[in-house]
């Protein structure tokens, strides 16, 4: 079993767990929860896109008369929104399903469903072999949930894992799950065309398609009017966003800017909603992020100076095996360009060590790219083969586990030193911080983030502030993951 940050350094993995896995997602609907005749419970695993999908599912269920509950024992419908990216995800989901099944034994009317990226690959196991679920639904088939629920209530096993080339759920207003009322995620596209050899997303989420730009801007505007003060535009590769309105004919004689809406243009449209609305985005691909995007970020103060730019490996040969479609030199040039246009831009990344045939020298290349890029934060993993990927079909997973573990430890240790240096370099600086709520350690302190996506904790000091307000904070101290300061 490949080692990850979780296995090697549980204390460092805590932040990743909080961002990438949510134990329960509860929808606090307006009005009396007792008005709903049925209740649902949903857990989400994996990337933020999965959490966004769960909000779409909650909206569909709300329309069907389902209210949310925090306790799965009280639910008529229990759903797991699954992820296939991480090595232990399948066993985690199976364990949870077994827990749900035990409750179902004493509550025969309860329905159990699996949503998301595991749905297609494991439908036979979950439905027939282990009889753990009643419903299986893929990421593009959530509109069919009401019909599938009706079938399952009649005793049928219900499945829809068909992928779509058109579905973007643009007309569905998501129900915000476990919302802090300040920050929200807005999906701008679905699927992926990149076909990285280690990744299952193109097979579980289908081909890339962009959502109607007007619907995105309207959703962001509605969120702002409801009191939200930050939106994160989500996509597997936001920089390749390109929406062509219906009726527009694209040909060689049409000016490119008239053909459709690019990501840079969408970013600007959202930023123009209000200077009080912060705008973030994730994730960027090194081959697609453009100077137009960077100049748009530099132009608007409310577009946060933060980019998540996965590198995966610092060696060109390994990048080619990963089908990342850029070189080491291209990546470093992109980092240099970001810092030329946005000098104070926060930068984070993803790193995979121990990919098939990776040599010790190639591992050193990854360490050197990290030294040259000086990331503020990174998600770091040892490679583990995912069924159905191009790498699983083409390459042998031939790096010994002890070697993967040692290389990952070296990467983690290096990144820890970079994060520590980055955060301590902010001591003495003053940042505008969006207050997201109370600090987890004390309700006498506020918790928020600055433009560079760094967590900032500072004393309330009886100032008349609340969630969603901005505060200017001078930094007095820092750890490798948190800035501590005082209002000025």
- Whether residues 364 and 435 share a domain: the answer is no
Q: Residue 51: helix, strand or coil by DSSP?
A: helix
E strand or H helix that includes residue 149: helix 145-153
Q: What are the tens digits of pLDDT across the range 372-422?
A: 999 999 999 999 998 889 999 999 999 999 999 999 999 999 999 999 999
Local confidence band at 16 (pLDDT 50, 70, 90 cut-offs): very low
- Looking at the fold, whether 442 and 413 belong to one and the same domain comes out as no
**CATH number of the CATH domain containing 481:** 2.40.50.140
343 shares a domain with 418: yes
The CATH number of residue 190's host domain is: 3.80.30.20
Range of the domain at 96: 9-160
What three-state secondary structure class fits 6? helix
Per-residue pLDDT band for 250 (boundaries 50, 70, 90) equals low
Among the candidates 96, 125, 160, a domain finishes at 160
Hey, what's the torsion of the CAs at 266, 269, 272, 276, to 10 degrees?
A: -50
75 and 151 share one domain? yes
Q: How far apart are CA 454 and CA 470, in angstroms?
A: 15
Answer yes or no: are the C-beta atoms of 161 and 138 closer than 8 Å: yes
Q: How much is the pLDDT for 35?
A: 66
Residue 250 lies in a domain: yes
The pLDDT of residue 26 is above 90: no
Residues 85 and 193 in one domain: no
pLDDT at 261 over 60: yes
* Span of 129-138, 285-294, 461-470, 477-486 with lowest mean pLDDT: 129-138
Same domain, 155 and 211: no
Mean pLDDT of the chain: 89
Average pLDDT over residues 85-109: 83
Tally of domains within the chain: 3
For the chain, what percent of residues have pLDDT higher than 70? Answer: 89
Chain centroid, CA 55 distance in Å: 13
| Per-residue pLDDT band at 252 (split at 50, 70, 90) | low
Q: What mean pLDDT is predicted for residues 100-128? A: 86
Instruction: Confirm whether 276 is domain-assigned.
Output: yes
Q: What is the pLDDT of residue 248?
A: 61
Its pTM stands at 0.88
Q: Is residue 472 part of a domain?
A: yes
Q: Which of 424, 456, 474 is the last residue of a domain?
A: 424
Same domain, 375 and 470: no
Residue 200: the pLDDT is 86
Query: Are 409 and 468 in a shared domain?
Result: no
> Which one is predicted more confidently, 85 or 180?
180
Q: What integer pLDDT is reported at residue 305 of this predicted model?
A: 98
pLDDT tens, residue by residue, 316-363: 999 999 999 999 999 999 999 999 999 999 999 999 999 999 999 999
At 92, the pLDDT band (50, 70, 90 cuts) reads: confident
**Angstrom distance (rounded) from CA 382 to CA 403:** 10
Does residue 78 fall inside a structural domain?
yes
Residues 472 and 350 occupy one common structural domain? no
In a domain, 178, yes or no: no
Domain for residue 80, yes or no? yes
| Strand ranges for 272-415 from DSSP E | 278-282, 306-308, 346-353, 377-382
Which of 377, 406, 424 is where one domain is finished? 424
């Amino acid at each position: 079993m490949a080692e990850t940050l979780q296995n090697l350094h549980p204390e460092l993995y805590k932040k990743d767990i909080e961002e990438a896995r949510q134990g329960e997602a509860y929808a606090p609907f307006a009005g009396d929860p007792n008005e709903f005749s049925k209740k649902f419970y949903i857990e989400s695993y994996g990337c933020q896109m999965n959490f966004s999908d769960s909000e779409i599912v909650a909206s569909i269920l709300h329309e069907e008369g389902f209210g949310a509950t925090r306790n799965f024992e009280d639910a008529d419908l229990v759903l797991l929104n699954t992820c296939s990216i991480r090595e232990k995800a399948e066993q985690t989901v199976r364990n949870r399903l077994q827990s749900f099944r035990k409750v179902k034994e004493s509550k025969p009317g309860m329905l159990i469903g699996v949503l998301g990226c595991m749905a297609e690959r494991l439908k036979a196991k979950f439905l027939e072999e282990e009889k753990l679920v009643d419903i299986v639904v893929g990421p593009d088939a959530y509109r069919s949930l009401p019909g599938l629920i009706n079938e399952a209530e009649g005793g049928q096993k219900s499945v829809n894992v068909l992928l779509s080339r058109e579905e973007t759920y643009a007309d569905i207003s998501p129900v915000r799950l476990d919302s802090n009322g300040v920050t929200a995620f807005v999906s701008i596209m679905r699927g992926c065309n990149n076909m990285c050899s280690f990744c299952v997303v193109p097979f579980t989420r289908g081909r890339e398609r962009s959502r109607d730009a007007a619907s995105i801007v309207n959703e962001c505007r509605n969120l702002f009017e409801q009191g939200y003060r930050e939106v994160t535009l989500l996509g597997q590769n936001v920089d390749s966003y390109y929406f062509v309105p219906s009726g527009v004919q694209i040909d060689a004689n049409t000016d490119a800017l008239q053909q459709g809406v690019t990501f840079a243009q969408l970013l600007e449209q959202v930023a123009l909603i209000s200077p009080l609305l912060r705008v973030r985005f994730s994730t960027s691909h090194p081959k697609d992020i453009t100077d137009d995007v960077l100049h748009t970020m530099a132009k608007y103060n409310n577009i946060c100076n933060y980019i998540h730019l996965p590198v995966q490996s610092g060696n060109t040969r390994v990048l080619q095996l990963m089908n990342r479609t850029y070189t080491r030199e291209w990546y470093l040039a992109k980092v240099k360009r970001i810092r030329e246009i946005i000098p104070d831009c926060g930068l984070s990344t993803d790193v995979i060590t121990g990919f098939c045939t990776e040599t010790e020298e190639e591992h050193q290349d990854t360490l050197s790219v990290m030294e040259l890029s000086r990331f503020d934060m990174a998600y770091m993993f040892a490679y583990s083969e995912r069924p159905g990927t191009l790498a699983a079909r083409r390459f042998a997973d031939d790096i010994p586990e002890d070697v993967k573990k040692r290389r990952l430890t070296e990467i983690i240790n290096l990144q820890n030193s970079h994060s520590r240096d980055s955060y301590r370099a902010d001591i003495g600086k003053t940042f505008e911080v969006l207050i997201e709520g109370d600090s987890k350690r004390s309700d006498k302190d506020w918790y928020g983030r600055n433009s560079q996506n760094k967590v900032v904790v500072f004393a309330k000091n009886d100032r008349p502030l609340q969630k969603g307000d901005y505060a200017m904070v001078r930094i007095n101290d820092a750890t490798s993951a948190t800035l501590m300061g005082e209002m000025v």
